[in-house]
């Protein structure tokens, strides 16, 4: 699974441009499950288990990542851009990006030429420019078209004590877990959606869940861990190496209490670490899925991830197994109607 | 092509003063040309004997901006600046901590889910670097005072642009090494050349002070980087990338040498730009010129974007033309 995660993180798939991710996933899962791509670009898969399921369960992970989109080319060859998904400006300054195979850098005025106040101020995001080295607009147009998407140039690194750094761990880790589940033995039939456009408003999950019509859904995500220096305990939200994260509420969903309790009990029964997300920030595909048709009983299970929506997502390898094992154990009860 | 490879090797090597990666790369390039030695400040010089008993020192600082470890916490470290790092660009920046081994780290950020866009930034001592190691584990490999550098390998942009860390001033180092190679390729250099790759420029022009004292040349040419043209900064304080070396005209730089550099560009069709500095140049020229009883000094700069960040960007043609200009100058100066 670690190789799959690495491959997936290194592929580029900003919201609305997830084709490469979908292709990779289809190649990986086709031997194990029936799958198709829906009109929005979601990969929907159905895997036969040993028995048919009493209740239909959907595993969901989103394929898209936050990134940039080129909005214009200036006379001097510099590119203007907008962000796709929520990105704070301070993680962009002097960072390297890739627009297809072309490298670019997000320029800053030299610190030497700034006044005292400006030196500690984040520049206006609207004024930021990407330099690909072009000498003029016509020169830049040989390499770039308006509407091209750009990703952070960030490699996959294992460091420290079991830590992984990469871009797009949100939510390629979810995709990697789903692929792993599809490849494994399953006692019941299961459905899977690898969705597009989560970062721009949970759009892919809406249509995927409509097609699958599940009774239950498990959204597998990466969620904000803020267990970092200078952040007080009560603002850490969740912690690395403390296991899977289960949410009681976030910006898009108030999770069903009974299901929330079952998730924690399941984790305890199988001896896997679980933690409750201590905060209600963010939102994920559960928000779209649980409102589908007449309603879907939905759980959100996440890996704790530091520095979300930056080039530098950081997770702890040891949390991956918790997320996967709890998700599978929960699925078995859901499919067997034993919740 | 060889020059570009040399520059990338130099830029990728470790060179916050106190680390010797860049020195090792430079020594390998220079040792076929002359006697190479290292000084007490962390710099390196090559003495190249020439035909004429006249000595021209070519200076480029080899140190890069970076940081030093000030505290080790559980999972995180703190750092102080070692040179004028642009602190605005540190959030989400990857670094290497040069401890007993090289340790990966990344500056912490708070995601947009938990923090609205704000326009003020923390000071460097309020920032943390995530190293993913407990305090006990970290203390086995990291000590207070260890150097920290940007983790950013140089890559090519389109045309002949290169982006990476420490192009300030490995671009200058590559140019002076290249000009020494050009001069030695003539057979014997026309006069004695000292290639002085000085340390601690970013901390206050320190290495050039002692190196120049040591060699006390007849003339010196400093090669550094200067501000590339960019929107929102005054155009008269910048040079355009790919438009040639910037020749400095200032009270500090020798007028005869400066005019001679300009004449050579005109004669040899080397593109150039004039850079006017009203008082100090902010480069090693300021200190070299007042060494002992004085050294005639000129300054040539390579235009660079995003100075003091991990995204420094230059044009290879400016490096090539700088090397050519200096070699031509030396040939003409001793004729």
Question: What ipTM did this prediction achieve?
Answer: 0.95
The predicted model gives B15-36 an average pLDDT of 96
Q: Which one is catalytic: B201, B202, B219, B320?
A: B201
Closest CB to A110 among B78, B110, B307: B307
Residue A50 exposed, middle or buried by CB count within 10 Å (0-12, 13-18, 19+): exposed
Q: Give a yes or no: residue A245 inside a domain.
A: yes
| Residue that is last in its domain, among A126, A152, A178 | A152
Is pLDDT of A131 > 90? yes
Residues A106 and A54 in one domain: no
Q: How far apart are CA B29 and CA B181, in angstroms?
A: 9
Q: What is the residue-averaged pLDDT of chain A? A: 96
Residues A241 and A317 in one domain: yes
Q: How far apart are CA B288 and CA B198, in angstroms?
A: 11
Closest CB to B73 among A108, A229, A308: A229
Cβ of A107 and B131 within 8 Å?
Answer: no
Host domain of residue A147: 67-152
Q: What is the pLDDT of residue B116?
A: 73
Residue A158 exposed, middle or buried by CB count within 10 Å (0-12, 13-18, 19+): middle
Is pLDDT of B113 > 90? no
Provide, as residue numbers in chain A, all residues whose Cβ is less than 8 Å from the Cβ of B156.
Answer: 103, 133
Q: How far apart are CA B324 and CA B26, in angstroms?
A: 19
Q: Which one is catalytic: A18, A198, A221, A242?
A: A198
Residues A268 and A180 in one domain: yes
How far, rounded to the nearest angstrom, does the alpha carbon of residue A26 sit from its chain's CA centroid?
A: 18
Distance from CA of A332 to the nearest CA of B (A): 32
Residues A182 and A271 in one domain: yes
Q: What is the pLDDT of residue B97?
A: 98
Q: Give a yes or no: residue A121 inside a domain.
A: yes
Q: Give a yes or no: residue A254 inside a domain.
A: yes
Q: How far apart are CA B330 and CA B335, in angstroms?
A: 9
| Residue that is last in its domain, among A127, A152, A177 | A152
> What does the pLDDT look like over B256-301, one tens digit per residue?
999 999 999 999 999 999 999 988 999 999 999 999 999 999 999 9
What order do you get walking across the sheet with B312-315 strand by strand?
A: B155-156, B161-164, B312-315
The residues spanned by each domain of chain B are 2-64+165-333, 66-150
The CA-to-CA distance between both ends of chain B, in Å, stands at 30
Q: Give a yes or no: residue A54 inside a domain.
A: yes
The predicted model gives A126-146 an average pLDDT of 97
Residues A77 and A138 in one domain: yes
Residue B108's pLDDT band (cuts 50, 70, 90): very high
The beta strand positions in B10-85, using DSSP E, are: 35-38, 44-48, 50-61, 66-72, 76-82
Q: Helix, strand or coil for residue A120?
A: helix
Distance from CA of A63 to the nearest CA of B (A): 19
Question: Which pair of tokens denotes residue A127?
Answer: 């004024």
Cβ of B87 and A95 within 8 Å?
Answer: no
Highest CATH level, class, for B66-150: mainly beta
Is pLDDT of A53 > 80? yes
Is pLDDT of A253 > 70? yes
Q: Give a yes or no: residue A160 inside a domain.
A: no
Q: What is the pLDDT of residue B1?
A: 52
Q: How far apart are CA B197 and CA B214, in angstroms?
A: 13
Residues A52 and A180 in one domain: yes
Q: What is the pLDDT of residue A116?
A: 84
Is pLDDT of A226 > 90? yes
Please tell me which residue of chain A has the smallest CA distance to B92.
A91
Residues A139 and A241 in one domain: no
Residue B118's pLDDT band (cuts 50, 70, 90): confident
Beta bridge partners of A315: A164
Report whether A204 contacts A196 (CB < 8 A): yes
The predicted model gives A237-243 an average pLDDT of 97
> What does the pLDDT look like over A301-323, one tens digit per residue?
999 999 999 999 999 999 999 99
Residues A175 and A30 in one domain: yes
Question: Which pair of tokens denotes residue A20?
Answer: 């490469």
Percent of chain B beyond pLDDT 70?
A: 100
Give residue for tokens 């040399």.
B6
Catalytic annotation present for B94? no
Q: Are strands A216-224 and A297-305 parallel, antiparallel or unpaired?
A: parallel
Q: Which residue has the higher pLDDT, B120 or B43?
A: B43
The predicted model gives B114-131 an average pLDDT of 88
- Provide the CATH number for the domain formed by B2-64+165-333 in this structure: 3.40.630.10
Residue A311 to residues A56, A66, B157, B233, Cα–Cα distance (Å): 36, 9, 19, 28
Give residue for tokens 């959204």.
A219
Is pLDDT of B117 > 80? no
Please tell me which residue of chain B has the smallest CA distance to A152.
B92
> What does the pLDDT look like over A155-194, one tens digit per residue?
999 999 999 999 999 999 999 999 999 999 999 999 999 9
Q: How far apart are CA A280 and CA A299, in angstroms?
A: 14
Peptide bond just before B169 cis, omega within 30 deg = yes
How far, rounded to the nearest angstrom, does the alpha carbon of residue A175 sit from its chain's CA centroid?
A: 8
Is pLDDT of B115 > 90? no
Distance from CA of B83 to the nearest CA of A (A): 12
Cβ of A86 and B309 within 8 Å?
Answer: no
Please tell me which residue of chain B has the smallest CA distance to A87.
B112
Cβ of A133 and B313 within 8 Å?
Answer: yes
Q: Give a yes or no: residue A321 inside a domain.
A: yes
Quote the DSSP letter at residue B28: H
Closest CB to A107 among B110, B131, B306: B306
Distance from CA of B267 to the nearest CA of A (A): 26
Please tell me which residue of chain A has the smallest CA distance to B311.
A94
The predicted model gives A56-64 an average pLDDT of 98
Q: What is the pLDDT of residue B114?
A: 87
Residue B146's pLDDT band (cuts 50, 70, 90): very high
Q: How far apart are CA B192 and CA B195, in angstroms?
A: 10
Cβ of B108 and A157 within 8 Å?
Answer: no
Is pLDDT of B3 > 70? yes
Residues A20 and A82 in one domain: no
Residues A16 and A141 in one domain: no
Residue count of chain B: 335
Beta bridge partners of B198: B61
Report whether A150 contacts A104 (CB < 8 A): yes
Closest CB to A312 among B94, B137, B242: B94
Provide, as residue numbers in chain A, all residues whose Cβ is less than 8 Å from the Cβ of B89.
Answer: 93-95, 108
Give residue for tokens 């021209």.
B56
Q: What is the pLDDT of residue B119?
A: 76
Q: What is the residue-averaged pLDDT of chain B? A: 96
Q: What is the pLDDT of residue A313?
A: 98
Provide, as residue numbers in chain A, all residues whose Cβ is less than 8 Å from the Cβ of B112.
Answer: 86-88, 309
Q: What is the pLDDT of residue B36?
A: 98
Sign of the torsion formed by the C-alpha atoms of B17, B22, B23 and B26: negative
> What does the pLDDT look like over B98-107, one tens digit per residue?
999 999 999 9
Residues A171 and A265 in one domain: yes
Is pLDDT of B186 > 90? no
Q: What is the pLDDT of residue A119?
A: 87
Chain A / chain B CB contacts < 8 angstroms: 207
Number of domains in chain A: 2
The beta strand positions in B165-315, using DSSP E, are: 189-198, 219-227, 246-249, 273-276, 296-304, 312-315
Q: How far apart are CA A76 and CA B194, in angstroms?
A: 39
Percent of chain A beyond pLDDT 90?
A: 96
> What does the pLDDT look like over A113-125, one tens digit per residue?
998 888 888 999 9
Residues A196 and A238 in one domain: yes
Q: Give a yes or no: residue A162 inside a domain.
A: no
Q: Give a yes or no: residue A229 inside a domain.
A: yes
Q: What is the CATH number of the domain that holds A299?
A: 3.40.630.10
Of all residues in chain A, what percent are helix, strand and coil, respectively (each to 5)? Answer: 30, 25, 45
The predicted model gives B217-223 an average pLDDT of 98
> What does the pLDDT look like over A261-300, one tens digit per residue?
999 999 999 999 999 999 998 899 999 999 999 999 999 9
Residue A295: CB atoms within 10 A of its CB come to 11
Give residue for tokens 């890069």.
B64
Cβ of B110 and A237 within 8 Å?
Answer: no
């Amino acid at each position: 699974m670690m190789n799959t995660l690495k491959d997936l993180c290194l592929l580029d798939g900003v919201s609305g441009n997830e084709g490469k991710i979908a292709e990779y996933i289809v190649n990986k899962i086709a031997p194990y499950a029936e799958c198709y791509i829906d009109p929005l670009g979601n990969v929907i898969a159905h895997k036969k288990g040993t028995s048919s399921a009493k209740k239909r369960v959907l595993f969901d992970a989103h394929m898209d990542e936050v990134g940039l989109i080129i909005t214009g080319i200036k006379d001097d060859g510099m590119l203007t851009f907008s962000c796709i998904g929520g990105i704070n400006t301070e993680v962009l300054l002097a960072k390297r990006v890739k627009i297809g195979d072309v490298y670019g850098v997000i320029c800053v005025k030299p610190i030497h030429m700034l006044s005292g106040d400006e030196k500690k101020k984040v520049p206006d995001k609207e004024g930021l420019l990407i330099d690909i080295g072009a000498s003029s607009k016509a020169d830049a147009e040989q390499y770039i078209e308006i509407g091209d998407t750009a990703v952070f140039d960030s490699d996959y690194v294992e460091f420290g004590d079991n830590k992984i750094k990469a871009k797009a761990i949100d939510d390629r880790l979810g995709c990697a877990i789903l692929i792993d589940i599809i490849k494994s033995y399953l006692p019941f039939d299961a459905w899977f959606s690898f969705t597009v456009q989560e970062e721009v408003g949970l759009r892919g999950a809406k249509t995927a869940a409509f097609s699958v019509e599940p009774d239950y859904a498990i959204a597998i995500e990466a969620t904000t861990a803020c267990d970092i220096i200078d952040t007080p305990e009560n603002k850490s939200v969740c912690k690395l190496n403390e296991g899977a994260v289960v949410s009681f509420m976030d910006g898009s969903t108030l999770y069903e209490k009974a299901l929330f309790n079952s998730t924690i009990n399941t984790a305890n029964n199988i001896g896997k670490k679980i933690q409750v997300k201590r905060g209600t920030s963010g939102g994920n595909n559960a928000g779209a899925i649980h409102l589908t048709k007449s309603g879907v009983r939905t759980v959100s299970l996440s890996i704790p991830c530091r520095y979300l929506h930056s080039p530098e997502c950081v997770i702890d390898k040891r949390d991956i197994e918790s997320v996967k094992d709890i998700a599978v154990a929960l699925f078995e009860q859901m499919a067997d109607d034993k919740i | 092509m060889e020059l570009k490879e040399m520059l990338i090797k130099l830029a990728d090597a470790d060179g916050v003063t106190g680390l010797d990666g860049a020195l090792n790369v430079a020594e390998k390039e220079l040792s076929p040309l002359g006697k190479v030695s290292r000084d007490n400040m962390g710099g390196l010089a090559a003495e190249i004997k020439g035909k004429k008993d006249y000595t021209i020192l070519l200076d480029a600082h080899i140190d890069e901006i970076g940081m030093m470890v000030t505290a080790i916490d559980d999972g995180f470290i703190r750092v102080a600046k070692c040179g004028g790092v642009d602190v605005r660009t540190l959030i989400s920046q990857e670094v290497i901590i040069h401890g007993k081994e090289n340790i990966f780290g990344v500056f912490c950020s708070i995601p947009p889910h938990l923090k609205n866009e704000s326009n003020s930034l923390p000071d460097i001592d309020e920032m943390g670097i995530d190293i993913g190691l407990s305090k006990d584990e970290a203390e086995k490999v990291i000590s207070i005072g260890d150097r920290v550098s940007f983790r950013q390998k140089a890559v090519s942009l389109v045309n002949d642009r290169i982006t990476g860390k420490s192009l300030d001033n490995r671009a200058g180092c590559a140019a002076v090494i290249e000009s020494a190679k050009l001069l030695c390729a003539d057979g014997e250099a026309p006069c004695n050349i000292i290639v002085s790759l000085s340390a601690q420029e970013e901390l206050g022009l320190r290495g050039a002070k002692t190196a120049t004292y040591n060699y006390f040349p007849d003339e010196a040419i400093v090669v550094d980087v200067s501000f590339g043209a960019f929107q929102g900064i005054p155009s008269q304080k910048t040079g355009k990338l790919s438009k040639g070396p910037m020749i400095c005209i200032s009270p500090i730089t020798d007028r005869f040498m400066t005019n001679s550099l300009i004449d050579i560009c005109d004669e040899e069709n080397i593109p150039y730009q004039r850079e006017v500095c009203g008082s100090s140049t902010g480069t090693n020229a300021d200190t070299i010129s007042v060494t002992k009883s004085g050294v005639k000094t000129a300054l040539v700069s390579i235009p660079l974007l995003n100075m003091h960040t991990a995204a420094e960007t230059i044009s290879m043609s400016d490096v090539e033309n700088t090397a050519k200009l200096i070699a031509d100058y030396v040939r003409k100066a001793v004729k």
